[in-house]
């Protein structure tokens, strides 16, 4: 017997889906911003000459890069309260985990961008009498930024897809809403197809943007 | 402070790991003098030049440029960022690889030091940049990006950028070595005119004829030591030390 595709029933869940989109996009934007801020700090600490700071930050980056984000989420929500007595709501645990996970990758992208700037540029800025902060702001970062933007956009694409893992903590993101709809309608094929289409519709323009930024002739 | 000596180095030493690049160098440069540093590659002349504006921080010794001095003989701690910056702001440096800021126009390159470091108002910095670009013959390139210029033009912009800080001394680190032969002359002409204006200058160079004609004194270095120094014409035409003679014998074609 042929499977009868029917997407029509999904219309009645459009409010639920809307909430899911809001959570997915909202968490992506929030954790991308917080991840960039923490990532900047991480990069600067790794580039500093403070040996202890470099060591701690490197350990942090490797722990978050080398373990699955799903495990991190579960660990942060269930294990952290037992170890520290700190009770986190699912949303807070999710925000914290995705921020730090994102920061570990963003931090390495930012660090790579900074060290890719030619040493002669540092020499030239220093020779003019610039202080470290002026050199960063006026000479290094403007040049590093062009190289950092495409990989940062790519990492943000991954960050958005990682928000689908929030469903394990019952945060009502797009995937979680899909699971709800599936259990009510018993039509997982249509439901997950629609979820995939929505993810694609959000991310495709973003990857196109990254591609355009890569193609732009830079220094 | 002696007011005729613009640069004073005493017992400057620098090692990279186990390699001693500068072995107890002492050197003075009079105000308005032009001194050429010559020697084989690896002799430490670029490191010496870079330690004068502390791009390379010596392990020990004393360095004075104008009113600013730093003593490295007693302290083990690195100088503070602020002190290094203030010291460097008094010297201008021109690099072999130009090192212009590619994300700025030519004019912005020249304005950058005064605006960011000296807090000069933009309008005044722009006027000064225009005047300096005119002086190096590039008034019409102000709005261009550095990557659209020839090597010789880039290096003249770099000279204007360094001059914009109104430095006490100018340091040239093989300023013509990366240039096509036909572009060397235009850069040397600018350096020559600075010499005529009385700018105190220290040049690391392989242009022996230029060193002989423009420099007041020549310092020959080998293996991190000053082997011979004296009046330019004398050192280049009648070197007294065998090492200097051997080195200069490679250049005799160019000195005709």
A217: confidence class by pLDDT, cuts 50, 70, 90: low
What is the domain count for chain B?
A: 2
Rounded-to-integer distance, Cα B108 and Cα B126, Å:
8
**B246 bridge partner residues:** none
The pLDDT value given to residue B252: 64
Same domain, B117 and B77: no
Same domain, B226 and B177: yes
Same domain, B112 and B159: yes
- ipTM for the predicted complex comes to 0.92
pLDDT at residue B200 tops 90: yes
The pLDDT value given to residue A25: 94
Q: Which of residues 83-122 of A touch B (CB under 8 A)?
A: 118, 120-121
Rounded-to-integer distance, Cα A131 and Cα B167, Å:
17
Same domain, B176 and B66: yes
Same domain, B18 and B133: no
Tens digits of residue pLDDT in A137-187: 999 999 998 889 889 999 999 999 999 999 999 899 999 999 999 999 999
- Domain end, chosen from B166, B186, B207, is at B166
Buried b (16+ CB within 10 A) or exposed e, A3-12: eeeeeeebee
Rounded-to-integer distance, Cα B111 and Cα B30, Å:
29
Rounded-to-integer distance, Cα B153 and Cα B135, Å:
12
Same domain, B125 and B238: no
Minimum mean pLDDT range among A25-34, A86-95, B68-77, B191-200? B68-77
Put simply, whether B55 touches A (Cβ < 8 Å) is yes
Minimum mean pLDDT range among A19-33, A140-154, B111-125, B189-203? A140-154
The verdict on residue B95 lying in a domain is no
pLDDT at residue B77 tops 60: yes
pLDDT at residue B211 tops 70: yes
Residue A165: both structure tokens together: 């893992």
HSE-up (13 A, CA, CB side) for residue B90: 16
Residue A209: both structure tokens together: 């943007």
Put simply, whether B65 touches A (Cβ < 8 Å) is no
Same domain, B173 and B78: yes
Where along chain A do its domains lie? 8-215
Segments forming the whole domain that contains residue B115: 100-166
**A212 bridge partner residues:** none
Same domain, B86 and B179: yes
The pLDDT value given to residue B256: 45
**CB < 8 Å & 24+ apart, contacts of A17-22:** A17/A174, A17/A177, A17/A181, A17/A194, A17/A198, A19/A172, A19/A177, A20/A172, A20/A173, A20/A174, A20/A175, A20/A176, A20/A177, A20/A178, A21/A174, A21/A198, A21/A202
Tens digits of residue pLDDT in B7-42: 999 999 999 999 999 999 999 999 999 999 999 988
Same domain, B178 and B137: no
Are B100 and A142 within 8 A, CB to CB?
no
The pLDDT value given to residue B159: 97
A210: confidence class by pLDDT, cuts 50, 70, 90: confident
**How does strand B200-204 pair with strand B34-38?**
parallel
Task: Return the CATH superfamily for domain A8-215.
Answer: MetI-like (1.10.3720.10)
Find the mean pLDDT for residues B122-149. 96
Closest alpha carbon within chain A to B53 = A127
Same domain, B77 and B133: no
The verdict on residue B20 lying in a domain is yes
Find the mean pLDDT for residues A210-218. 69
The verdict on residue B242 lying in a domain is yes
B1: confidence class by pLDDT, cuts 50, 70, 90: very low
pLDDT at residue B163 tops 50: yes
Are A131 and B81 within 8 A, CB to CB?
yes
Are B85 and A120 within 8 A, CB to CB?
no
- Domain end, chosen from B166, B196, B219, is at B166
Same domain, B174 and B85: yes
Are A128 and B82 within 8 A, CB to CB?
no
């Amino acid at each position: 017997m042929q499977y009868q595709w029917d997407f029509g029933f999904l219309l009645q869940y459009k409010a639920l889906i809307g909430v899911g989109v809001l959570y997915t996009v909202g968490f992506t934007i929030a954790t991308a911003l917080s991840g960039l801020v923490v990532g900047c700090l991480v990069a600067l600490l790794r580039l500093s000459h403070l040996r202890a700071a470099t060591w701690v930050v490197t350990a942090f980056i490797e722990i978050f890069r080398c373990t699955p984000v799903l495990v991190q989420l579960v660990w942060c929500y269930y294990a952290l309260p037992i170890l520290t007595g700190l009770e986190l709501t699912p949303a807070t645990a999710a925000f914290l985990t995705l921020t730090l996970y994102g920061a570990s990758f963003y931090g390495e992208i930012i660090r790579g961008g900074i060290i890719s700037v030619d040493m002669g540029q540092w020499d030239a800025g220093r020779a003019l009498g610039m202080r470290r902060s002026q050199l960063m702001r006026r000479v290094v970062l403007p040049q590093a930024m062009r190289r950092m933007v495409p990989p940062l956009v790519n990492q943000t694409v991954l960050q958005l897809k990682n928000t689908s893992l929030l469903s394990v903590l019952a945060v009502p993101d797009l995937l979680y809403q899909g699971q709800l709809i599936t259990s009510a309608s018993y039509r997982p094929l249509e439901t997950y197809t629609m979820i995939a289409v929505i993810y694609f519709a959000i991310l495709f323009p973003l990857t196109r943007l990254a591609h355009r930024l890569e193609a732009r002739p830079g220094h | 402070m002696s007011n005729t000596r613009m640069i004073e180095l005493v017992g400057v030493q620098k090692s990279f790991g186990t390699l001693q690049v500068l072995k107890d160098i002492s050197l003075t440069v009079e105000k308005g003098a032009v001194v050429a540093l010559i020697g084989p590659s690896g002799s430490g002349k670029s490191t010496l030049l870079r330690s004068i504006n502390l791009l390379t921080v010596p392990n020990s010794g004393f360095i004075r440029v104008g009113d600013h001095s730093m003593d490295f003989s007693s302290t083990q701690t690195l100088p503070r960022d602020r002190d290094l910056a203030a010291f460097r702001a008094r010297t201008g440096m021109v690099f072999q690889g130009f090192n212009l800021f590619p994300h700025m126009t030519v004019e912005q390159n020249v304005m950058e030091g005064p605006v960011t470091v000296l807090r000069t108002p933009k309008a005044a910095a722009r006027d000064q940049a225009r005047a300096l670009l005119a002086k190096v013959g590039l008034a019409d390139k102000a709005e261009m990006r550095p990557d659209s210029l020839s090597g010789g033009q880039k290096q003249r912009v770099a000279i204007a950028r360094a001059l914009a800080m109104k430095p006490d001394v100018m340091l040239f680190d093989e300023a013509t070595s990366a240039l096509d032969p036909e572009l060397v002359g235009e850069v040397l002409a600018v350096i020559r005119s600075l010499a005529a204006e009385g700018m105190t200058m220290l040049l690391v160079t392989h242009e022996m004829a230029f060193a002989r004609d423009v420099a007041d004194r020549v310092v020959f270095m080998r293996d991190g030591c000053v082997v011979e120094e004296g009046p330019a014409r004398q050192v280049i035409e009648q070197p007294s030390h065998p090492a200097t003679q051997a080195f200069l014998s490679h250049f005799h074609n160019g000195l005709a």
